[in-house]
Amino acid sequence: MAQFVPVDTFDLVIFGGTGDLSQRKLLPALFHRDRDGQFTPESRIVALSRGEMTNEAFIKLVRGALETYLDEDKFEPEVWDRFSKRLHYITLDITTPDGWKSLARLLEPESNRCRVFYLALIPALFGETAKQLSEHGLINEGSRIVLEKPVGSDRDSAREINDGVGRFFNERQIYRIDHYLGKETVQNLSALRFANALLEPLWNRTHIDHVQITVSEHIGTGNRAQFYDRTGALRDMVQNHMLQLLCLVAMEPPLSMHHDELRNEKIKVLRALRPITPKNVARATVRGQYKQGAVDGQAVPGYADELGAESNTETFVAIRADVDNWRWQGTPFYLRTGKRLPEKTSEIVIQFRSIAHSIFEEREDGIEPNRLVIRLQPDEGVRLSMVTKEPGPGGFTLRSLPLNLSFNETYELGYPDAYERLLMEVLRGNPALFMRRDEVDAAWSWIDKIRNAWDSTGMAPLLYSAGTWGPTASAVLIDRDDRSWYQDGS
């Protein structure tokens, strides 16, 4: 079983340290890693926020968050006693000097220590925060800065943010986080492809018919509707999460697992994506927006009702993406994501081609092709469908059955969640699971072309009822190629 390896002594500074992300994800993740003995006694966690608060009040806030978001058996008093001693709170407004002086006084005695600055802030503040860190002498050789998504809202704004941060941090110090890259099953994509002799020779257009990537959400936008209206599904999910998954599936074998070798291969995939233009946008994409419907038997409002106004923002996107290179030419990648869909799930489906010739008595629907399903959430695991003969004397009957690897059932050691792994990789100084600047630029370049095509053609979102799998046009998009969306059991 895997072992938890301790990290060097650090100071982790969280900007936005009392916010939702910090309370729900970052602090519970750090508590888990402390629970498993990965932190030295001298390591510290410093939270910064504009609100006036004593250190005691902050510690009380953190305890409440951990009791809320951790499983009951994971909050151990002896671990809390150790963890709480690491916590420090400083009132800081990025635009005023007072809090910066307090932060400098706290960090300066340990000037050679690894310093991680985690920016759980709006992207517009990234550049100014980096500037203030530099002006107050807080950046040392071991400093790293973590940028939460989204890095920009288009290519131009992303470049502006990267330029602003890049003036004070070099590229090896910048960690652009996408929590999907920390998921255990996403990590296993590399192991599946490059550690199994039976898969990699088949991982190409000759043997794979198509690939589906689905990231569906059960919930709507709720009280986040105003924020979401400035983003939409294409920028919120496709630009980062889904394109990263596509890259990991489609990339060529890297020379090694070194971070730059991995990221070099991902950028080649992004640059090989066929542009979606006004000429093909109607056939290659579907925009949707949920209206009133029923979820789990309960009536729920539509997006416009939650927003309180009519809007052209999409809550659903389906795309046919084509990777124009030797490995994948002619093999489509179908991407689908949306809110208020029937279930919360993230999965990658590798659909292999049918056998070239059958020696068996054919059924009306033929022999079902093999399929590899990589499930990212929930119930992480890998399932490979294989055709076998049904036992019994009643003739030669074929049936497709799954070879199932469930992570929960197989591994006794509880594996860390995405933020736990990513935080540890930042502290170790390993940027393999983070987006390089040229990746961000290439991803936005492809996404911007889709948005421009939507705007120039006046392609508005199609309405779909909450609790369904999106507009009918989504089914038509893939049915046009004589294929269908995979549903568990289908």
Supply the residues annotated as catalytic: 241
Q: How far apart are CA 53 and CA 50, in angstroms?
A: 9
Provide Rg for the chain, Cα atoms: 24
Q: How far apart are CA 346 and CA 368, in angstroms?
A: 23
Q: Please enumerate in sequence order all residues whose Cβ is within 8 A of that of 161, keeping only pairs 6 or more positions apart, or say none.
A: 123, 126, 127, 147, 151, 152
Torsion from C-alpha of 103, 107, 109, 113, nearest 10 degrees:
-170
Nearest Cα to Cα of residue 308 among 245, 408, 229 = 229
Q: How far apart are CA 341 and CA 293, in angstroms?
A: 10
Q: How far apart are CA 435 and CA 263, in angstroms?
A: 8
Strands 293-295 and 114-119 turn out to be unpaired
DSSP string, 293-318: EEETTEEE--HHHHHTS-----SEEE
Query: Please, are residues 374 and 189 in contact by the beta-carbon 8 Å criterion?
Result: yes
Written as six digits, the tokens of 462 are: 């199609």
Q: Within 10 A of 367 (CB to CB), how many other CB atoms are there?
A: 14
Query: Please, are residues 434 and 173 in contact by the beta-carbon 8 Å criterion?
Result: no
Q: How far apart are CA 144 and CA 155, in angstroms?
A: 23
Counting every residue written for the chain, the total comes to 490
Written as six digits, the tokens of 377 are: 């959430």
Tell which phi-psi region holds residue 325, choosing left (phi > 0), alpha (psi between -120 and 50) or beta: beta
Q: How far apart are CA 322 and CA 276, in angstroms?
A: 10
Q: Which residues pair with 351 in a beta bridge?
A: 210, 371
Query: Please, are residues 400 and 366 in contact by the beta-carbon 8 Å criterion?
Result: no
From residue 209, alpha-carbon distances to 190, 328, 422 in Å are 20, 10, 33
Query: CA angle, corner 80, sides to 44 and 10, nearest 5?
Result: 15
Exposed, middle or buried by CB within 10 Å (0-12, 13-18, 19+), for 20? exposed
| Tokens 């507009």 -> residue | 471
Which amino acid, residue 412? E
